[in-house]
Amino acid sequence: MSQEQEQPAPASQSDQLSPAFDPRLCGCLELLRGGLETTLSGLETIATGLKYKKGCEVSIPRSKMEDWGIDFGLENNEEDDVTKEIYHEVTMTNPATKRLMKDLEKLLQEPPAGISAEPQKNNILHWDAIIQGPKKSPWEGGSFKLTLQFPEDYPNKPPTGRFISPMFHPNIDAKDGRIFIDILRDEWRPIYNVESVLISIQSLLCDPNPNSPANEEAAKLFIENKREYNKRIRKLVEQSWAKDD
């Protein structure tokens, strides 16, 4: 037997360019395949809805989201449900919008007692809300409407609040309904959300600060004649019934 071993034939040019033998190209193909799988997974999520970690599923109709001024950039061939994955991963470019949608999800999942709120049509930065008067207080049974206006840099800066319903309260301007509360001013923190704001306003009804009044008449009456002050509140509660009718 010859001592010389047979040498393998040189690879052809086509073999040298074969993707199967180029590790860098293989890596690219893997990334491409992974991206395709992610896309398919996303489409499946759109179709079925996204399950939350708590096991609760919340979905909002696309038509409703468009009413709030959110541009999906998608063909609206069907009125399917647009879930958390869509408006968080595809449509949210404005930080305030993204954060407000997160706030809305929380309100839908765990609505606070006596509070409801949602964005106005064509403007997600402007919300309408209704606060029920706290129980076991002169405000009990009342239903009071207010608005919240959020800045473009929310949550770094707080919203402004204004009651639409007539109010008589030391910390609510009697003329324009503006709400003066620490959480909307000096004590604002970015961790606060829509729920935090509305709960604080609801609590303010029963726990005013007459030492820093926006309505001096109400503050004086609250300090000097609580009984008469409560009568004025009860009249407001009755007025809110008429408004609801």
Domains of the chain from N-terminus onward: 39-91 (no CATH), 94-244 (3.10.110.10)
- Cβ atoms of 130 and 144 closer than 8 Å: yes
- Cβ atoms of 200 and 183 closer than 8 Å: yes
Q: Work out the pLDDT band at 244, boundaries 50, 70, 90.
A: low
pLDDT at 62: 57
pLDDT at 146: 98
Helices 226-244 and 216-224, axial angle in degrees (round to 10): 130
143 CB burial (10 A radius; 0-12, 13-18, 19+):
middle
- Mean per-residue pLDDT for 23-29? 47
DSSP one-letter code for 113: T
Convert the pLDDT of each residue in 45-74 to its tens digit. Answer: 333 333 333 333 445 555 666 666 555 554
pLDDT at 93: 59
pTM confidence score: 0.66
- Mean per-residue pLDDT for 38-50? 38
Residue 44 clears pLDDT 50, i.e. is over it? no
pLDDT at 94: 81
Average pLDDT of the chain is 76
Residue 16 clears pLDDT 60, i.e. is over it? no
Q: What is the sign of the dihedral through the CA atoms of 106, 62, 55 and 45? A: negative
Q: Work out the pLDDT band at 124, boundaries 50, 70, 90.
A: very high
Residue 41 clears pLDDT 90, i.e. is over it? no
DSSP one-letter code for 52: P
Helix, strand counts (H, E) of the chain:
8, 6
Amino acid 56 reads C
CA of 199: how far to CAs of 52, 127, 130, 172, in Å?
24, 15, 11, 16
Q: Work out the pLDDT band at 122, boundaries 50, 70, 90.
A: confident
What does R_g of the chain's alpha carbons equal in angstroms?
29
pLDDT at 55: 34
- Mean per-residue pLDDT for 193-197? 97
